[in-house]
Structure 1
Amino acid sequence: MKNCVLVSICILFLFCSSSCSSDDGLSKNDYYNLSNLPVDTGGTHTGHILTEANAPYGYYAYQPFGYNDDSDSMYPLLIFLHGSGEKGNSLKHPEYLERILVNGIPKMIENGNWSPKYPMLVVSPQCHDDGWQPATIKRFVEFIVEKYKVNERRIYITGLSMGGFGCFSYVGTYGDDSHITAVVPICGGGNVSQAENFKNIPVWAFHGESDATVAPSKSKSMIEAINSSNPVEKAKITLYPDVAHDSWTYTYEGTGMGKENANYDAFNSDIYTWMLSHENKE
Protein backbone atom coordinates (compact mmCIF):
# COMPACT_ATOMS: atom_id res chain seq x y z
CA MET A 1 0.00 0.00 0.00
CA LYS A 2 2.83 2.36 0.94
CA ASN A 3 4.52 1.65 -2.40
CA CYS A 4 1.29 2.51 -4.28
CA VAL A 5 1.04 5.84 -2.45
CA LEU A 6 4.70 6.60 -3.20
CA VAL A 7 4.23 5.83 -6.90
CA SER A 8 1.14 8.08 -7.03
CA ILE A 9 3.07 10.96 -5.44
CA CYS A 10 5.92 10.54 -7.92
CA ILE A 11 3.51 10.56 -10.89
CA LEU A 12 1.80 13.68 -9.53
CA PHE A 13 5.16 15.42 -9.09
CA LEU A 14 6.24 14.58 -12.63
CA PHE A 15 2.92 15.79 -14.03
CA CYS A 16 3.17 19.12 -12.19
CA SER A 17 6.77 19.55 -13.30
CA SER A 18 5.92 19.01 -16.96
CA SER A 19 2.82 21.24 -16.76
CA CYS A 20 4.38 24.13 -14.89
CA SER A 21 7.85 24.16 -16.41
CA SER A 22 9.43 23.94 -19.82
CA ASP A 23 12.43 21.93 -21.00
CA ASP A 24 14.73 24.74 -19.82
CA GLY A 25 13.27 24.63 -16.31
CA LEU A 26 11.48 27.99 -16.48
CA SER A 27 7.89 28.37 -15.32
CA LYS A 28 5.41 30.33 -17.41
CA ASN A 29 5.77 33.33 -15.09
CA ASP A 30 9.54 33.28 -15.63
CA TYR A 31 8.95 34.07 -19.30
CA TYR A 32 7.45 37.39 -18.17
CA ASN A 33 10.21 38.14 -15.64
CA LEU A 34 12.31 41.06 -16.92
CA SER A 35 15.38 39.99 -14.96
CA ASN A 36 15.50 36.71 -16.90
CA LEU A 37 15.96 38.50 -20.23
CA PRO A 38 19.51 38.77 -21.63
CA VAL A 39 21.21 42.13 -21.24
CA ASP A 40 20.77 44.21 -24.38
CA THR A 41 24.27 45.03 -25.60
CA GLY A 42 23.01 46.14 -29.01
CA GLY A 43 20.41 44.60 -31.27
CA THR A 44 19.12 44.92 -34.83
CA HIS A 45 16.97 47.73 -36.23
CA THR A 46 15.26 46.60 -39.41
CA GLY A 47 12.92 48.36 -41.82
CA HIS A 48 9.84 46.61 -43.20
CA ILE A 49 8.24 48.38 -46.12
CA LEU A 50 4.48 48.59 -46.49
CA THR A 51 2.95 45.73 -48.49
CA GLU A 52 -0.57 45.11 -49.68
CA ALA A 53 -1.02 41.85 -47.77
CA ASN A 54 1.10 42.26 -44.64
CA ALA A 55 1.09 44.77 -41.77
CA PRO A 56 -1.25 47.77 -42.08
CA TYR A 57 1.81 50.05 -41.79
CA GLY A 58 5.38 49.92 -42.95
CA TYR A 59 7.59 49.94 -39.86
CA TYR A 60 10.99 49.68 -38.22
CA ALA A 61 11.49 46.97 -35.61
CA TYR A 62 14.25 46.89 -33.03
CA GLN A 63 15.05 43.42 -31.68
CA PRO A 64 17.36 43.57 -28.64
CA PHE A 65 20.47 41.46 -28.25
CA GLY A 66 19.54 37.89 -27.32
CA TYR A 67 16.08 38.03 -28.88
CA ASN A 68 15.38 34.61 -30.35
CA ASP A 69 12.24 33.46 -32.15
CA ASP A 70 12.88 29.93 -30.86
CA SER A 71 12.99 31.02 -27.21
CA ASP A 72 9.94 31.05 -24.97
CA SER A 73 11.01 34.32 -23.35
CA MET A 74 8.63 37.22 -23.96
CA TYR A 75 9.75 40.83 -24.40
CA PRO A 76 8.11 44.11 -23.41
CA LEU A 77 6.87 45.98 -26.48
CA LEU A 78 7.21 49.73 -27.00
CA ILE A 79 5.30 51.28 -29.89
CA PHE A 80 6.51 54.67 -31.14
CA LEU A 81 4.22 56.94 -33.19
CA HIS A 82 6.04 59.63 -35.20
CA GLY A 83 4.95 63.17 -36.06
CA SER A 84 3.42 64.53 -39.26
CA GLY A 85 6.78 65.30 -40.90
CA GLU A 86 7.70 61.61 -41.05
CA LYS A 87 4.64 60.32 -42.92
CA GLY A 88 5.20 58.33 -46.08
CA ASN A 89 3.98 55.48 -48.26
CA SER A 90 6.83 52.98 -48.50
CA LEU A 91 4.81 50.75 -50.80
CA LYS A 92 5.14 53.41 -53.49
CA HIS A 93 8.40 54.93 -52.25
CA PRO A 94 10.47 52.46 -50.17
CA GLU A 95 13.01 55.19 -49.41
CA TYR A 96 10.36 57.12 -47.46
CA LEU A 97 10.53 54.53 -44.66
CA GLU A 98 13.78 56.07 -43.41
CA ARG A 99 11.87 59.20 -42.43
CA ILE A 100 10.93 57.31 -39.27
CA LEU A 101 14.54 57.57 -38.12
CA VAL A 102 14.78 61.36 -37.88
CA ASN A 103 13.26 61.88 -34.41
CA GLY A 104 12.62 60.27 -31.08
CA ILE A 105 13.35 56.68 -30.14
CA PRO A 106 14.20 55.37 -33.64
CA LYS A 107 16.81 58.14 -33.91
CA MET A 108 18.25 57.16 -30.52
CA ILE A 109 18.49 53.53 -31.60
CA GLU A 110 20.25 54.47 -34.84
CA ASN A 111 22.69 56.70 -32.94
CA GLY A 112 23.47 54.00 -30.36
CA ASN A 113 21.86 55.97 -27.51
CA TRP A 114 19.22 53.38 -26.67
CA SER A 115 19.78 51.76 -23.27
CA PRO A 116 16.68 51.19 -21.10
CA LYS A 117 17.13 49.24 -17.87
CA TYR A 118 15.61 46.11 -19.42
CA PRO A 119 15.51 45.02 -23.08
CA MET A 120 12.46 46.00 -25.08
CA LEU A 121 11.15 45.33 -28.55
CA VAL A 122 10.62 48.71 -30.21
CA VAL A 123 8.29 48.98 -33.17
CA SER A 124 7.87 52.27 -35.07
CA PRO A 125 5.10 52.24 -37.70
CA GLN A 126 4.91 54.80 -40.50
CA CYS A 127 1.61 56.56 -41.07
CA HIS A 128 0.61 56.89 -44.72
CA ASP A 129 -2.85 58.36 -44.06
CA ASP A 130 -3.91 61.87 -43.09
CA GLY A 131 -3.28 60.96 -39.45
CA TRP A 132 -3.08 58.06 -37.03
CA GLN A 133 -6.33 56.07 -37.18
CA PRO A 134 -7.26 54.11 -34.01
CA ALA A 135 -8.63 51.10 -35.90
CA THR A 136 -5.46 50.81 -37.99
CA ILE A 137 -3.23 51.15 -34.93
CA LYS A 138 -5.18 48.34 -33.28
CA ARG A 139 -4.71 46.05 -36.28
CA PHE A 140 -1.01 46.90 -36.27
CA VAL A 141 -0.59 46.15 -32.56
CA GLU A 142 -2.31 42.80 -32.98
CA PHE A 143 -0.14 42.02 -36.01
CA ILE A 144 3.02 42.72 -34.01
CA VAL A 145 1.84 40.61 -31.07
CA GLU A 146 1.24 37.73 -33.46
CA LYS A 147 4.58 38.11 -35.28
CA TYR A 148 7.00 38.77 -32.40
CA LYS A 149 7.71 37.34 -28.94
CA VAL A 150 5.69 39.97 -27.08
CA ASN A 151 5.02 40.03 -23.36
CA GLU A 152 1.35 40.98 -23.57
CA ARG A 153 1.42 42.13 -19.95
CA ARG A 154 3.82 44.91 -20.97
CA ILE A 155 2.77 46.77 -24.12
CA TYR A 156 3.51 50.49 -24.06
CA ILE A 157 2.86 53.31 -26.50
CA THR A 158 4.39 56.75 -26.94
CA GLY A 159 4.39 59.36 -29.65
CA LEU A 160 5.28 62.95 -30.47
CA SER A 161 3.10 65.71 -31.91
CA MET A 162 0.77 63.92 -34.35
CA GLY A 163 1.94 60.75 -32.61
CA GLY A 164 0.97 62.22 -29.25
CA PHE A 165 -2.52 62.82 -30.60
CA GLY A 166 -2.43 59.26 -31.94
CA CYS A 167 -1.66 57.87 -28.48
CA PHE A 168 -4.55 59.74 -26.87
CA SER A 169 -6.91 58.83 -29.72
CA TYR A 170 -6.03 55.14 -29.79
CA VAL A 171 -6.29 54.50 -26.06
CA GLY A 172 -9.22 56.90 -25.80
CA THR A 173 -11.11 54.90 -28.42
CA TYR A 174 -10.39 51.37 -27.17
CA GLY A 175 -9.52 51.71 -23.49
CA ASP A 176 -8.78 48.32 -21.95
CA ASP A 177 -9.22 46.68 -25.37
CA SER A 178 -6.26 48.68 -26.75
CA HIS A 179 -3.80 46.11 -25.28
CA ILE A 180 -1.84 49.06 -23.83
CA THR A 181 -0.31 48.93 -20.35
CA ALA A 182 0.86 52.57 -20.08
CA VAL A 183 1.04 55.56 -22.42
CA VAL A 184 3.41 58.54 -22.80
CA PRO A 185 2.00 61.20 -25.20
CA ILE A 186 4.34 64.10 -25.99
CA CYS A 187 3.16 67.52 -27.25
CA GLY A 188 -0.20 66.07 -28.26
CA GLY A 189 -3.82 66.28 -27.26
CA GLY A 190 -7.03 64.32 -27.33
CA ASN A 191 -10.77 64.16 -26.89
CA VAL A 192 -11.70 64.90 -23.28
CA SER A 193 -14.97 63.00 -23.70
CA GLN A 194 -12.87 59.80 -23.93
CA ALA A 195 -11.16 60.35 -20.57
CA GLU A 196 -13.07 57.51 -18.90
CA ASN A 197 -11.31 54.99 -21.16
CA PHE A 198 -7.98 55.80 -19.46
CA LYS A 199 -9.30 54.67 -16.08
CA ASN A 200 -7.07 51.59 -15.91
CA ILE A 201 -4.21 52.80 -18.12
CA PRO A 202 -1.53 55.05 -16.56
CA VAL A 203 -0.68 58.21 -18.51
CA TRP A 204 2.33 60.53 -18.31
CA ALA A 205 2.13 63.47 -20.73
CA PHE A 206 4.89 65.96 -21.61
CA HIS A 207 4.69 69.36 -23.27
CA GLY A 208 6.74 72.53 -23.80
CA GLU A 209 5.12 75.61 -22.32
CA SER A 210 6.17 77.75 -25.28
CA ASP A 211 4.81 75.34 -27.90
CA ALA A 212 3.16 77.43 -30.62
CA THR A 213 2.42 74.40 -32.84
CA VAL A 214 0.33 72.42 -30.36
CA ALA A 215 -0.85 74.46 -27.39
CA PRO A 216 0.15 72.94 -24.02
CA SER A 217 -3.48 73.34 -22.97
CA LYS A 218 -4.21 70.35 -25.23
CA SER A 219 -2.21 68.05 -22.95
CA LYS A 220 -3.31 69.75 -19.76
CA SER A 221 -7.02 69.47 -20.55
CA MET A 222 -6.66 65.74 -21.28
CA ILE A 223 -4.82 65.05 -18.02
CA GLU A 224 -7.36 67.09 -16.05
CA ALA A 225 -10.24 65.18 -17.67
CA ILE A 226 -8.62 61.81 -17.01
CA ASN A 227 -8.02 62.65 -13.36
CA SER A 228 -11.59 63.90 -13.02
CA SER A 229 -12.74 60.39 -13.95
CA ASN A 230 -10.95 58.93 -10.90
CA PRO A 231 -8.43 56.63 -12.63
CA VAL A 232 -6.77 53.76 -10.80
CA GLU A 233 -3.49 55.71 -11.03
CA LYS A 234 -3.40 59.51 -11.20
CA ALA A 235 -2.41 60.73 -14.66
CA LYS A 236 0.74 62.89 -14.75
CA ILE A 237 1.88 65.87 -16.80
CA THR A 238 5.35 67.40 -16.98
CA LEU A 239 5.85 70.82 -18.56
CA TYR A 240 9.09 72.47 -19.67
CA PRO A 241 9.35 76.27 -19.32
CA ASP A 242 10.63 78.12 -22.41
CA VAL A 243 10.53 74.96 -24.55
CA ALA A 244 8.72 75.11 -27.88
CA HIS A 245 7.37 72.19 -29.93
CA ASP A 246 10.37 69.90 -29.54
CA SER A 247 9.70 68.64 -26.03
CA TRP A 248 10.39 65.09 -27.16
CA THR A 249 14.20 65.32 -27.18
CA TYR A 250 14.23 66.31 -23.50
CA THR A 251 11.77 63.52 -22.74
CA TYR A 252 13.12 60.58 -24.73
CA GLU A 253 16.76 61.30 -23.90
CA GLY A 254 15.98 62.19 -20.29
CA THR A 255 17.89 65.47 -20.53
CA GLY A 256 14.84 67.42 -19.36
CA MET A 257 15.17 66.09 -15.81
CA GLY A 258 15.52 69.03 -13.46
CA LYS A 259 14.36 71.51 -16.13
CA GLU A 260 10.63 70.98 -15.65
CA ASN A 261 8.07 73.36 -14.14
CA ALA A 262 7.98 72.57 -10.42
CA ASN A 263 4.25 73.31 -10.31
CA TYR A 264 3.53 70.15 -12.29
CA ASP A 265 4.68 66.54 -12.06
CA ALA A 266 8.41 66.09 -11.55
CA PHE A 267 10.52 64.44 -14.22
CA ASN A 268 12.05 62.15 -11.62
CA SER A 269 12.39 58.92 -13.62
CA ASP A 270 13.22 58.12 -17.21
CA ILE A 271 10.03 57.23 -19.03
CA TYR A 272 11.16 53.69 -19.89
CA THR A 273 11.67 52.73 -16.25
CA TRP A 274 8.32 54.32 -15.46
CA MET A 275 6.59 52.34 -18.21
CA LEU A 276 8.25 49.07 -17.19
CA SER A 277 7.08 49.61 -13.61
CA HIS A 278 3.57 48.91 -14.90
CA GLU A 279 2.38 45.43 -15.76
CA ASN A 280 -1.04 44.05 -16.63
CA LYS A 281 -1.90 40.89 -14.71
CA GLU A 282 -3.66 37.97 -16.34
Structure 2
Amino acid sequence: MKKIILTICILFPVLFLNAQDLKKYDRGSFIKRKDSIYYRILFPENFNPKQKYPIVFFLHGSGERGNDNASQLVHGGKLFLKNDVRKNFPAIVVFPQCPKDDYWANVNIDKNANGKRTFSFVDGGKPTKVMHALQGMIKDFLRKPYVNKDQVYVGGLSMGAMGTYELLRRQRRKFAAAIAICGGDNTNNIRKYQKVPLWIFHGAKDDIVDPALSMAIAERLKSVGDEVKFTLYPNANHNSWDSAFAEPELLSWLFSHKK
Protein backbone atom coordinates (compact mmCIF):
# COMPACT_ATOMS: atom_id res chain seq x y z
CA MET A 1 0.00 0.00 0.00
CA LYS A 2 2.85 2.38 0.85
CA LYS A 3 4.43 1.67 -2.54
CA ILE A 4 1.14 2.44 -4.29
CA ILE A 5 0.76 5.71 -2.40
CA LEU A 6 4.37 6.64 -3.16
CA THR A 7 3.83 5.92 -6.87
CA ILE A 8 0.72 8.09 -6.93
CA CYS A 9 2.58 10.89 -5.16
CA ILE A 10 5.34 10.72 -7.77
CA LEU A 11 3.06 10.52 -10.81
CA PHE A 12 0.49 13.12 -9.76
CA PRO A 13 2.81 16.15 -10.04
CA VAL A 14 3.98 14.91 -13.46
CA LEU A 15 0.43 14.51 -14.75
CA PHE A 16 -0.55 17.85 -13.26
CA LEU A 17 2.37 19.61 -14.92
CA ASN A 18 1.51 18.03 -18.28
CA ALA A 19 -2.06 19.25 -17.95
CA GLN A 20 -0.81 22.69 -16.97
CA ASP A 21 1.52 22.79 -19.96
CA LEU A 22 -1.34 22.08 -22.36
CA LYS A 23 -3.09 25.13 -20.94
CA LYS A 24 -0.48 27.18 -22.77
CA TYR A 25 -2.62 26.50 -25.83
CA ASP A 26 -5.21 29.29 -25.91
CA ARG A 27 -8.80 28.46 -26.80
CA GLY A 28 -10.27 29.92 -29.96
CA SER A 29 -13.09 29.56 -32.44
CA PHE A 30 -13.89 30.45 -36.03
CA ILE A 31 -17.57 31.16 -36.68
CA LYS A 32 -18.75 32.61 -39.96
CA ARG A 33 -22.22 32.09 -41.44
CA LYS A 34 -22.82 28.32 -41.37
CA ASP A 35 -19.18 27.50 -40.61
CA SER A 36 -18.00 26.94 -37.07
CA ILE A 37 -14.91 25.22 -35.73
CA TYR A 38 -13.11 25.34 -32.38
CA TYR A 39 -9.36 25.19 -31.97
CA ARG A 40 -6.45 25.48 -29.55
CA ILE A 41 -3.55 27.72 -30.47
CA LEU A 42 0.01 28.00 -29.19
CA PHE A 43 1.86 31.23 -29.84
CA PRO A 44 5.68 31.43 -29.80
CA GLU A 45 7.38 32.49 -26.59
CA ASN A 46 7.82 36.27 -26.44
CA PHE A 47 5.32 36.58 -29.27
CA ASN A 48 5.62 39.89 -31.13
CA PRO A 49 2.60 40.71 -33.33
CA LYS A 50 4.82 42.96 -35.44
CA GLN A 51 6.89 39.96 -36.56
CA LYS A 52 5.90 37.22 -38.99
CA TYR A 53 5.87 33.58 -37.89
CA PRO A 54 5.42 30.20 -39.56
CA ILE A 55 2.09 28.54 -38.83
CA VAL A 56 1.31 24.83 -38.44
CA PHE A 57 -2.17 23.31 -38.59
CA PHE A 58 -2.40 19.84 -37.05
CA LEU A 59 -5.40 17.54 -37.55
CA HIS A 60 -6.22 14.92 -34.92
CA GLY A 61 -7.59 11.39 -35.33
CA SER A 62 -11.17 10.12 -34.99
CA GLY A 63 -10.76 9.23 -31.32
CA GLU A 64 -10.22 12.88 -30.39
CA ARG A 65 -13.39 14.20 -32.02
CA GLY A 66 -15.83 16.10 -29.83
CA ASN A 67 -16.75 19.54 -28.56
CA ASP A 68 -14.53 19.89 -25.48
CA ASN A 69 -11.83 21.79 -27.40
CA ALA A 70 -9.21 19.81 -25.52
CA SER A 71 -9.02 16.20 -26.73
CA GLN A 72 -7.31 17.18 -29.98
CA LEU A 73 -4.15 17.95 -28.01
CA VAL A 74 -3.73 14.37 -26.76
CA HIS A 75 -1.40 13.34 -29.59
CA GLY A 76 1.09 15.96 -30.71
CA GLY A 77 0.23 18.74 -28.30
CA LYS A 78 3.25 18.08 -26.07
CA LEU A 79 5.64 17.93 -29.03
CA PHE A 80 5.31 21.64 -29.70
CA LEU A 81 5.68 22.47 -26.00
CA LYS A 82 9.20 21.05 -25.73
CA ASN A 83 11.72 23.71 -24.77
CA ASP A 84 14.08 22.97 -27.66
CA VAL A 85 11.21 23.00 -30.14
CA ARG A 86 9.91 26.34 -28.92
CA LYS A 87 13.43 27.76 -28.99
CA ASN A 88 14.53 26.41 -32.38
CA PHE A 89 11.21 26.56 -34.23
CA PRO A 90 9.22 29.58 -33.04
CA ALA A 91 5.89 29.13 -34.76
CA ILE A 92 2.15 29.46 -34.32
CA VAL A 93 0.60 26.02 -33.86
CA VAL A 94 -3.13 25.40 -34.32
CA PHE A 95 -5.04 22.25 -33.33
CA PRO A 96 -8.63 22.46 -34.64
CA GLN A 97 -11.21 19.96 -33.38
CA CYS A 98 -13.59 17.93 -35.51
CA PRO A 99 -17.09 17.35 -34.07
CA LYS A 100 -18.05 13.83 -33.02
CA ASP A 101 -20.47 13.29 -35.91
CA ASP A 102 -18.19 14.61 -38.68
CA TYR A 103 -14.97 13.60 -40.48
CA TRP A 104 -12.09 15.62 -41.92
CA ALA A 105 -12.00 13.69 -45.19
CA ASN A 106 -14.70 12.71 -47.65
CA VAL A 107 -14.42 8.94 -47.22
CA ASN A 108 -16.77 5.98 -46.95
CA ILE A 109 -15.97 3.57 -44.10
CA ASP A 110 -17.20 -0.03 -44.12
CA LYS A 111 -16.22 -3.36 -42.57
CA ASN A 112 -15.15 -6.43 -44.49
CA ALA A 113 -16.06 -10.06 -43.71
CA ASN A 114 -13.36 -10.16 -41.01
CA GLY A 115 -14.73 -7.08 -39.28
CA LYS A 116 -11.80 -4.92 -40.35
CA ARG A 117 -12.53 -1.36 -41.39
CA THR A 118 -12.10 -0.48 -45.05
CA PHE A 119 -11.78 3.05 -46.41
CA SER A 120 -13.07 4.18 -49.79
CA PHE A 121 -11.82 7.68 -50.56
CA VAL A 122 -13.73 10.00 -52.86
CA ASP A 123 -12.12 11.15 -56.10
CA GLY A 124 -12.88 14.87 -55.94
CA GLY A 125 -16.29 15.56 -54.39
CA LYS A 126 -17.56 18.20 -52.00
CA PRO A 127 -15.87 18.84 -48.64
CA THR A 128 -17.44 17.65 -45.41
CA LYS A 129 -19.02 20.28 -43.17
CA VAL A 130 -15.99 20.48 -40.88
CA MET A 131 -13.54 20.55 -43.81
CA HIS A 132 -15.45 23.50 -45.24
CA ALA A 133 -15.17 25.29 -41.89
CA LEU A 134 -11.48 24.36 -41.60
CA GLN A 135 -10.73 25.96 -44.97
CA GLY A 136 -12.47 29.14 -43.87
CA MET A 137 -10.52 29.15 -40.61
CA ILE A 138 -7.20 28.75 -42.42
CA LYS A 139 -8.08 31.51 -44.86
CA ASP A 140 -8.88 33.76 -41.89
CA PHE A 141 -5.54 32.97 -40.20
CA LEU A 142 -3.60 33.77 -43.35
CA ARG A 143 -5.01 37.28 -43.26
CA LYS A 144 -3.27 37.92 -39.93
CA PRO A 145 -0.32 40.31 -40.30
CA TYR A 146 1.88 38.13 -38.05
CA VAL A 147 1.54 34.98 -40.19
CA ASN A 148 4.27 34.22 -42.72
CA LYS A 149 2.38 33.05 -45.82
CA ASP A 150 5.56 31.46 -47.18
CA GLN A 151 5.72 29.08 -44.21
CA VAL A 152 2.30 27.50 -43.85
CA TYR A 153 2.30 23.80 -42.92
CA VAL A 154 -0.24 21.07 -42.26
CA GLY A 155 0.01 17.65 -40.66
CA GLY A 156 -2.24 15.01 -39.21
CA LEU A 157 -2.57 11.48 -37.94
CA SER A 158 -5.03 8.73 -38.93
CA MET A 159 -8.29 10.53 -39.76
CA GLY A 160 -6.25 13.74 -39.56
CA ALA A 161 -3.77 12.43 -42.14
CA MET A 162 -6.70 11.66 -44.41
CA GLY A 163 -7.83 15.23 -43.80
CA THR A 164 -4.31 16.46 -44.56
CA TYR A 165 -4.39 14.90 -48.02
CA GLU A 166 -7.86 16.32 -48.60
CA LEU A 167 -6.82 19.79 -47.47
CA LEU A 168 -3.74 19.67 -49.68
CA ARG A 169 -5.75 18.91 -52.78
CA ARG A 170 -8.25 21.64 -51.96
CA GLN A 171 -5.74 24.35 -51.00
CA ARG A 172 -2.41 23.06 -52.27
CA ARG A 173 -1.05 26.49 -53.16
CA LYS A 174 -1.16 27.58 -49.53
CA PHE A 175 1.18 24.97 -48.03
CA ALA A 176 4.97 24.85 -48.06
CA ALA A 177 5.14 21.23 -46.79
CA ALA A 178 3.07 18.60 -44.99
CA ILE A 179 3.28 15.42 -42.90
CA ALA A 180 0.78 12.55 -42.95
CA ILE A 181 0.84 9.77 -40.34
CA CYS A 182 -1.06 6.48 -40.89
CA GLY A 183 -3.59 7.94 -43.30
CA GLY A 184 -4.80 7.36 -46.85
CA ASP A 185 -6.36 8.89 -49.94
CA ASN A 186 -7.65 8.05 -53.38
CA THR A 187 -4.50 7.94 -55.52
CA ASN A 188 -6.36 9.79 -58.28
CA ASN A 189 -6.19 12.87 -56.05
CA ILE A 190 -2.40 12.84 -55.90
CA ARG A 191 -1.96 14.94 -59.02
CA LYS A 192 -3.56 17.85 -57.14
CA TYR A 193 -0.85 17.99 -54.46
CA GLN A 194 2.14 16.37 -56.16
CA LYS A 195 4.11 19.63 -55.97
CA VAL A 196 3.84 19.85 -52.15
CA PRO A 197 6.80 18.35 -50.20
CA LEU A 198 5.35 15.52 -48.13
CA TRP A 199 6.65 13.17 -45.45
CA ILE A 200 4.48 10.07 -45.02
CA PHE A 201 4.63 7.70 -42.02
CA HIS A 202 2.93 4.38 -41.29
CA GLY A 203 3.29 1.33 -39.07
CA ALA A 204 3.74 -1.96 -40.93
CA LYS A 205 1.56 -3.76 -38.37
CA ASP A 206 -1.27 -1.21 -38.46
CA ASP A 207 -4.55 -3.10 -38.07
CA ILE A 208 -6.76 0.01 -38.20
CA VAL A 209 -5.63 1.78 -41.37
CA ASP A 210 -3.95 -0.49 -43.89
CA PRO A 211 -0.32 0.59 -44.49
CA ALA A 212 -0.88 -0.26 -48.16
CA LEU A 213 -2.80 3.03 -48.41
CA SER A 214 0.29 5.07 -47.52
CA MET A 215 2.51 2.86 -49.64
CA ALA A 216 0.34 3.48 -52.70
CA ILE A 217 0.47 7.25 -52.22
CA ALA A 218 4.23 7.24 -51.65
CA GLU A 219 4.94 5.09 -54.69
CA ARG A 220 2.74 7.20 -56.93
CA LEU A 221 4.27 10.43 -55.65
CA LYS A 222 7.81 9.15 -56.14
CA SER A 223 7.08 8.88 -59.85
CA VAL A 224 5.28 12.22 -60.31
CA GLY A 225 5.90 14.34 -57.21
CA ASP A 226 8.54 16.96 -56.45
CA GLU A 227 9.55 15.66 -53.02
CA VAL A 228 8.23 12.75 -50.97
CA LYS A 229 9.67 10.91 -47.98
CA PHE A 230 8.16 7.65 -46.77
CA THR A 231 8.97 6.02 -43.43
CA LEU A 232 7.53 2.59 -42.62
CA TYR A 233 8.04 1.42 -39.04
CA PRO A 234 8.32 -2.41 -39.18
CA ASN A 235 7.11 -3.04 -35.62
CA ALA A 236 4.59 -0.22 -35.18
CA ASN A 237 0.83 -0.66 -35.12
CA HIS A 238 -1.64 2.19 -35.58
CA ASN A 239 0.12 4.48 -33.09
CA SER A 240 3.00 5.13 -35.48
CA TRP A 241 2.66 8.80 -34.53
CA ASP A 242 4.74 8.05 -31.43
CA SER A 243 7.66 7.06 -33.66
CA ALA A 244 7.01 9.92 -36.10
CA PHE A 245 7.01 12.53 -33.34
CA ALA A 246 10.33 11.09 -32.11
CA GLU A 247 12.02 11.55 -35.50
CA PRO A 248 14.94 13.92 -34.82
CA GLU A 249 14.64 15.56 -38.26
CA LEU A 250 10.85 15.87 -38.35
CA LEU A 251 10.47 19.56 -37.56
CA SER A 252 13.74 20.68 -39.13
CA TRP A 253 12.59 19.03 -42.37
CA LEU A 254 9.13 20.62 -42.14
CA PHE A 255 10.29 24.16 -41.37
CA SER A 256 13.09 24.05 -43.93
CA HIS A 257 10.51 24.38 -46.70
CA LYS A 258 9.28 27.72 -47.90
CA LYS A 259 7.06 28.66 -50.80
TM-score, normalised to structure 1, is 0.68
The total of aligned residue pairs comes to 212
RCO higher in structure (CA 8 A, sep ≥6): 2
Give the residue type in structure 1 aligned to 2:103.
G
**Structure 2 residue 200 is the aligned partner of structure 1 residue 205:** yes
Determine which of 180, 187, 191 is the counterpart of 2:186.
Answer: 191
Aligned match of 1:18: none
CA contact (8 A) 2:35 2:133 kept: no
Aligned match of 2:73: 101
CA contact (8 A) 1:116 1:272 kept: no
Relative to 1, partners in 2 of residues 1:232 and 1:56: Cα closer, same or farther, differing over 3 Å?
same
Measure the CA separation in 2 of the matches of 1:66 and 1:147.
18
**Structure 2 residue 73 is the aligned partner of structure 1 residue 80:** no
Relative to 1, partners in 2 of residues 1:220 and 1:169: Cα closer, same or farther, differing over 3 Å?
same
Query: Pairwise mapping of residues 1-282 of structure 1 onto structure 2 (< 5 A)?
Result: 44-49=24-29, 56-69=36-49, 71=50, 73-89=51-67, 96-104=68-76, 106-109=77-80, 114-115=85-86, 117-128=88-99, 129-132=101-104, 133=128, 134-147=131-144, 149-176=146-173, 179-228=174-223, 230-233=224-227, 235-254=228-247, 269-280=248-259
Relative to 1, partners in 2 of residues 1:201 and 1:111: Cα closer, same or farther, differing over 3 Å?
closer
TM-score, normalised to structure 2, is 0.74
Measure the CA separation in 1 of the matches of 2:32 and 2:189.
32
Structure 1: runs of 5+ lacking an equivalent: 1-42, 90-95, 255-268
Identity of matched residues, %: 31
Structure 2: runs of 5+ lacking an equivalent: 1-22, 105-127
Which structure has greater strand proportion? 2
Give the residue type in structure 2 aligned to 1:103.
H
Relative to 1, partners in 2 of residues 1:171 and 1:203: Cα closer, same or farther, differing over 3 Å?
same
Aligned match of 1:258: none
Give the residue type in structure 1 aligned to 2:55.
L
CA contact (8 A) 2:177 2:198 kept: yes
